[in-house]
Amino acid sequence: MGWRSREDVSLDMAEPLERKGIKFIPKAAKELKPDNNQIVLIDDTVVEYDYLVITTGPRLAFEEVEGLGPDNNTHSVCTTPHAETACSAWEQFVQNPGPIVVGAVQGASCFGPAYEFAMIMDADLRKRKIRDKVPMTFVTSEPYIGHLGLGGVGDSKGMLESELRNHHMNWITNAKVDKVEAGKMFVSEVNDKGEVAKQHEVPFAYSMMLPAFKGVDAVANVGDDLCNPRGFVKIDKHQRNPKWPNIFSAGVCVAIPPVEPTPVPTGAPKTGYMIESMVTAIVHNISDELAGRPVTHEGTWNAICLADMGDTGVAFVAIPQIGPRNVAWMKKGKWVHLAKIGFEKYFMRKMKSGSSEPMFEKFLLRMVGITRLK
């Protein structure tokens, strides 16, 4: 929407890392040799390691759906360049508005940004007073609105259905996107048995669809001992790979099974605080190994999420993120929109200063029963 620039949401990591005595090498890895404890970089430089922490994030698997992605017929907000391209196209779209299709394709695991983007587009269109010219359809592989890849959180189903209804958005769930052509999306809607119940041809003048994720090639190419068939890193409860115990992993690139079977494949999301808990466990476990102590630390995998809906928002807490849960709480209000803005600025400041968990943050979260480690 152009509400933020690249400079607002990014920073040069070299300086804060170097302050901590961490050498920063801004080069892609092309090969991992775990038996030799080596990483080969794109320029053939070899980096040797005693311990390896894999936090690569995903590879965006646009190729799994014909016509999907910013090089084809839909947009993405998964990277800063993708978001900038989507913004430029948006500025052209609002000059000649038409139908919008937004959502997430089969195999996707990150559904929250699709809901956020749908509501933010709605808010921007209302500000421009052209919302009446734009039919909107939400297309998702989730079995129901608000599933989120988590089997729902609290009353996420009722709340998000109500939000879409109140904002005049149609939706298609249990959706498998067969292909995307210029201005038209072909969608198969399946029943609970996974059988095609209805087929849709959904027209659009603007579309943003989140893709499925896979592991990055340098890691996935190591094979089955390190990764699952999607290229995600296999880990135990201590975030450690079973085959190579000096390799740890955290974040979107780890292998987590879906929380439940669904008619159309959906993955389990890995959210921010959950990932912070993974990394905290890794750091403590490596520290223990270096000191000759047994590895015992486990991340809590708790989720705290603030979803910006343009001029309001939805907050949810899931403890732990993967059910069954001790806490499943969800609330809506303008305060969430304001809290998300505040958190954005706080997080950027925290990263610039190199403070991963300030004492007051740890204290406040402990007051409500949220910790990073079990």
Buried b (16+ CB within 10 A) or exposed e, 236-266: eebbbbeebeebbbbbbbbbbeebeebbbbb
CA distance 29 to 47: 10
Is the Cβ–Cβ distance between 210 and 104 less than 8 Å? yes
**Is residue 110 flagged as an active site residue?**
yes
**Is residue 253 flagged as an active site residue?**
no
Burial of 341 (0-12, 13-18, 19+ CB in 10 A): middle
Rama region for 175: left / alpha / beta (φ>0; ψ in -120 to 50; rest) = beta
Direct distance between the N- and C-terminal alpha carbons of the chain, in angstroms, rounded to an integer: 40
Q: Which of 78, 227, 253, 305 is catalytic?
A: 305
CA distance 186 to 284: 48
Q: Which of 78, 87, 110, 253 is catalytic?
A: 110
Pairing of strands 247-249, 52-54: parallel
CA distance 38 to 373: 30
The residues annotated with a catalytic role in the active site are: 110, 305
